[in-house]
C-alpha cells in the first residue's frame, strides 16, 4: 500500500524533538460521470463500478430535466445543466478521500459537451468524451429542447474554430489527457464534430481516439455498451499507471513540518 510521511516537531519540556509521522496514502482519483440528453445516471453505473474497482471514487448523477426532475424538461437550459455538473464536481472533490489533483470527468453526448465546458471552470486531469455533442454559443439561456433542428444538423457538419465555440475553446485550453470515443454509425454526432474536437485539443498532454465499428449514437446493443466500458477502463488504467510513474520519478519534496503537533504524556 502506498504511504506518505511528514516530518514533525514534538514539544516536550520546553524543547522540540524530531519525529516522522507515517501513514497510508488514502487519497485516490475521483471520476465524475455525466450522462447525455434523454439519459440518466443509471447508464453510467456499470462503468462507475468498474472504475471504482481500479481504486477510484466515482460519482454519477441525474441532470435536471431527467429522472426526478423530468418535469423541468421543457424549460431546463444549458446554464442549468452546467450548474448541475459544477455542483456534482464540487461534491466529488469535497470527499475527503478524493485527490483534487487527480480528477477525471467522463461525459457522453450532451454530457460530453458539458464536460468540455467544465474544464474551463474546474481543474480536470483526465477528460473522456464519448460522441460529444456540439451546440452554437448563441441562446445559452434558451431551453435546451429548443436547440435541436435542421440548423443544428447543418452546424454539426461544418468546420468550427475553437474561438467561435465555448466547448471547443475550453478544449483548446485543456492541458490534461483526453479520450474521445466515436461511434462509426452515429447520425446525431457525425464525424465532422469529432474532427472539430480532435483539432481543438492542440495542447493536451495526450489524445486517444477510438472508433467503435458499426456502433450507433446510443450504443443500443448491450455488447456495444460493454465494449465501451472496457475502452474507458483500459484508458483509465493506462492513465493511472502513467501518473504513478511520473510521481515516482519526481524528486522527493521536503516533507511538511508541523510546529505545533499535539504532545502526549506517558
The C-alpha cell that represents 92 in the structure block: 466529488
Asked if residue 20 belongs to a domain, the reply is no
Question: To 10 degrees, what angle do helices 110-118 and 78-93 make?
Answer: 60
Backbone angles phi, psi at 63, to 5 degrees: -65, 145
Q: What is the pLDDT along the chain (266 residues), one digit of tens a residue?
A: 566 666 878 787 788 878 787 766 678 999 999 999 988 898 999 999 999 999 999 999 999 999 888 888 899 999 999 999 999 999 999 988 899 999 999 999 999 999 999 999 999 999 999 999 999 999 999 999 999 888 999 999 999 999 999 999 999 999 999 999 999 999 999 999 999 999 999 999 999 999 999 999 999 999 999 999 999 999 999 999 999 888 788 765 444 443 433 434 33
Residue with cell 516533507: 255
Asked if residue 205 belongs to a domain, the reply is yes
Q: Report the CATH number at residue 59.
A: 3.40.50.1820
pTM reported for the whole predicted model: 0.85
pLDDT reported for residue 2: 63
Number of structural domains in the chain: 1
Asked if residue 80 belongs to a domain, the reply is yes
Asked if residue 19 belongs to a domain, the reply is no
What is residue 246's three-state secondary structure? helix
pLDDT reported for residue 256: 45
pLDDT reported for residue 260: 39
Asked if residue 41 belongs to a domain, the reply is yes
pLDDT reported for residue 223: 98
Chain-centroid distance of CA 189 in Å reads 20
| Sign of the torsion angle spanned by Cα atoms 79, 84, 87, 93 | negative
Structural domain boundaries, residue 145: 29-248
Asked if residue 134 belongs to a domain, the reply is yes
Which residues fall within 8 angstroms of residue 73, CB to CB, at 6 or more apart? 65, 66, 145
What is residue 173's three-state secondary structure? coil
pLDDT reported for residue 32: 96
Cα(117)–Cα(162) distance, rounded to whole angstroms?
12
Asked if residue 129 belongs to a domain, the reply is yes
What is residue 238's three-state secondary structure? helix
The secondary structure of residue 95, as a DSSP letter, is S
pLDDT reported for residue 263: 39
Which residues fall within 8 angstroms of residue 154, CB to CB, at 6 or more apart? none
Asked if residue 130 belongs to a domain, the reply is yes
Amino acid at each position: 500500500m502506498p504511504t506518505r510521511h511528514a516530518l514533525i516537531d514534538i514539544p516536550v519540556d520546553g524543547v522540540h524533538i524530531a519525529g516522522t509521522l507515517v501513514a497510508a496514502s488514502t487519497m485516490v482519483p475521483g471520476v465524475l460521470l455525466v450522462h447525455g440528453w434523454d439519459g440518466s445516471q443509471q447508464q453510467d453505473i456499470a462503468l462507475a463500478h468498474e472504475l471504482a474497482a481500479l481504486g477510484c471514487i466515482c460519482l454519477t448523477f441525474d441532470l435536471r430535466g431527467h429522472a426526478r426532475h423530468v418535469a423541468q424538461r421543457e424549460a431546463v437550459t444549458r446554464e442549468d445543466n452546467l450548474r448541475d455538473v459544477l455542483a456534482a464536481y464540487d461534491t466529488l472533490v469535497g470527499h475527503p478521500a478524493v485527490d483534487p489533483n487527480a480528477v477525471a470527468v467522463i461525459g457522453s453526448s450532451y454530457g460530453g459537451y458539458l464536460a468540455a465546458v467544465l474544464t474551463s471552470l474546474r481543474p480536470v486531469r483526465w477528460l473522456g468524451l464519448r460522441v460529444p455533442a456540439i451546440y452554437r454559443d448563441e441562446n445559452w439561456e434558451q431551453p435546451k429542447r429548443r436547440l435541436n433542428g435542421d440548423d443544428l444538423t447543418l452546424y454539426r457538419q461544418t468546420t468550427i474554430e475553437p474561438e467561435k465555440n465555448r466547448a471547443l475553446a475550453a478544449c483548446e485550453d485543456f492541458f490534461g489527457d483526453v479520450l474521445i470515443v466515436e461511434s462509426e454509425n452515429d447520425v446525431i454526432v457525425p464525424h465532422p464534430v469529432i474532427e472539430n474536437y480532435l483539432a481543438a485539443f492542440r495542447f493536451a498532454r495526450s489524445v486517444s481516439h477510438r472508433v467503435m465499428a458499426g456502433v450507433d449514437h446510443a450504443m443500443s446493443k448491450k455488447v456495444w455498451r460493454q465494449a465501451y466500458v472496457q475502452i474507458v477502463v483500459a484508458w483509465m488504467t493506462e492513465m493511472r499507471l502513467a501518473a504513478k510513474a511520473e510521481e515516482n520519478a519526481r524528486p522527493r519534496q521536503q516533507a511538511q513540518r508541523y510546529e505545533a503537533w499535539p504532545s502526549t504524556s506517558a
